[in-house]
Amino acid sequence: MNNFNNQTNQNNGNFQVNYQFARFKNKDVLISLKNREEIEGKIIAIDNYLNTVLQTKDGLNVIKGGKIVFISANE
């Protein structure tokens, strides 16, 4: 078995999102996008590529991580 298969088998069920990203989950945030739009809402899901599912007053929005400039917590 090659290294890739060994790593895949060892990591089954152990995937974790980076702590810096995961801390935004279930928080109200402001997301600034590369096209200069800003979206406010609550993060429902986020992954290590910053792909984000955001609950807004208009419903759910899926935002690709490559479009995000920054995420700011609204506290």
Task: Going residue by residue through the chain, which has 75 residues, state the pLDDT in tens, using 9 for 90 and above.
Answer: 444 443 444 455 666 888 888 888 999 999 999 999 999 999 999 999 999 999 999 999 999 999 999 999 987
Residue 7: inside a domain, yes or no?
no
Give residue 49's domain range. 18-73
Residue 13: inside a domain, yes or no?
no
Residue 12: inside a domain, yes or no?
no
Query: pTM of the entire structure?
Result: 0.74
CB 65 within 8 A of CB 33: no
DSSP-derived 3-state class of residue 75: coil
Displacement of CA 64 from its chain's centroid (Å): 9
Residue 6: inside a domain, yes or no?
no
Residue 2: inside a domain, yes or no?
no
Residue 4: inside a domain, yes or no?
no
> What's the CA gap between 46 and 16, in Å, rounded?
11
Q: How many domains does the chain fold into?
A: 1
- Domain with residue 25: its CATH number is 2.30.30.100
